[in-house]
Amino acid sequence: MTAKWYQQSGTDGDVVVSTRVRFARNLNHLPFPAGMTAEQREEVIGQIFEAFPQDGSGAFQCIRMTELSEWDALSMVERHLISPNFTAHPEGEALLLSPDESVSVMIGEEDHVRIQAMHAGLALDEAFTAANCWDDFLDARLHFAFDDRLGYLTQCPTNLGTGMRASVMLHLPALQEKGVIQQLANTVSKLGLTIRGMYGEGSRSEGAMYQLSNQVTLGITEQEAIENLKSIVGQIVKEERGYREQLRETPALEDRVYRSLGILQNARLLSGKEFMSLISHVRMGAAMNILTSVDLNGISHLMVDAQPAALMQQAGCELDPAERDKRRAALVRERLQ
């Protein structure tokens, strides 16, 4: 089985969990998805499925969202392969997914096409290149709606222009503990960026995970947006590391890291919220070499597998919250022994 991007850690993995670049694109001969008929939706799906390589080792999976169980779809949200919105009305929606799940194409979301490339750690250039490659590939075959003055046309004006959203998932336990996240959010917003919870807009941060992404898509090139994000991520990484070293001086840090590991290795019931809070301490401990028995890859892998829908997917059935807490605890114990 190909190792998935979310089962790994990458560059600056102590702070940067993963990187994502996505392009919003629309075919130029059809209305935006909100105004499409069922037939037109099928037409878009058909055209895009046809364009993609479907044989050989690089073959994409073609998935109609109506074919997925609820937990299969939700577990894709947990893995950041699709947006939460995409699971609400599966009719006329489809997904293309590369074997290592690092490239996904949502068809019939807010725009006709959302091309997404993901990577472990800080890898803005790599993710941009991958997304860009599939964008060029599709553009050559399908002709995306483009205006010389406005750039790529999108349903929502906030995507107009480059249609690109580049984001990094940051683990910021030390900055969170210092209580400076709100201040950071204010600062980055002045620099054309936004910081959000783990599952994007409107979601809360769990386990000190924050998504930092570019806000501006108009009047700026993709490369400029990427460089801007890169430079600010660099500063945040430096600050987070600095605060971590301050915390290292206190005996409370080591205590908290080991207690969190001890609870995770022993609990028989673990809510999702408690799991995220404990694994956050363990992740910081591993990143700071306080814990040497746990590695960041394993933690990344576990953070995906311990989410509610992933647990149901593994069980192959619906699970109530109490049953999930039991199975989550069992999974975590097994992985962290």
CB of 337 to its own copies, least distance (A): 12
86 Cβ neighbours under 8 A, 6+ residues apart:
65, 73, 77, 93, 95, 106, 109
CB of 315 to its own copies, least distance (A): 17
CB of 314 to its own copies, least distance (A): 19
Cβ proximity to its own copies: between 32 and 258 the closer is: 258
CB of 280 to its own copies, least distance (A): 16
Nearest to 54 by CA among 43, 63, 65: 63
The answer to whether 107 and 94 are in contact (CB under 8 A) is: yes
**DSSP classification of residue 82:** S
**β-pairing verdict for 94-97 and 61-64:** antiparallel
Q: What residues from 98 to 137 belong to the interface with its own copies (CB under 8 A)?
A: none
Nearest to 24 by CA among 201, 200, 166: 166
Cβ proximity to its own copies: between 143 and 259 the closer is: 259
166 scored as a contact of its own copies (CB under 8 A): no
Cβ proximity to its own copies: between 118 and 299 the closer is: 299
**Rounded Cα distance, 308 and 326, in Å:** 11
Residues near its own copies (CB under 8 A), total: 18
Q: What residues from 227 to 286 belong to the interface with its own copies (CB under 8 A)?
A: 251-252, 254-255, 258-259, 261-269
Range in contact with its own copies (rule: CB under 8 A) among 17-25, 31-39, 306-314, 322-330: 322-330
171 CA to centre of own chain: 13
Cβ proximity to its own copies: between 285 and 308 the closer is: 285
CB of 66 to its own copies, least distance (A): 37
248 Cβ neighbours under 8 A, 6+ residues apart:
288, 290
Question: Which residues contact its own copies by CB under 8 A?
Answer: 251-252, 254-255, 258-259, 261-269, 322, 326, 329
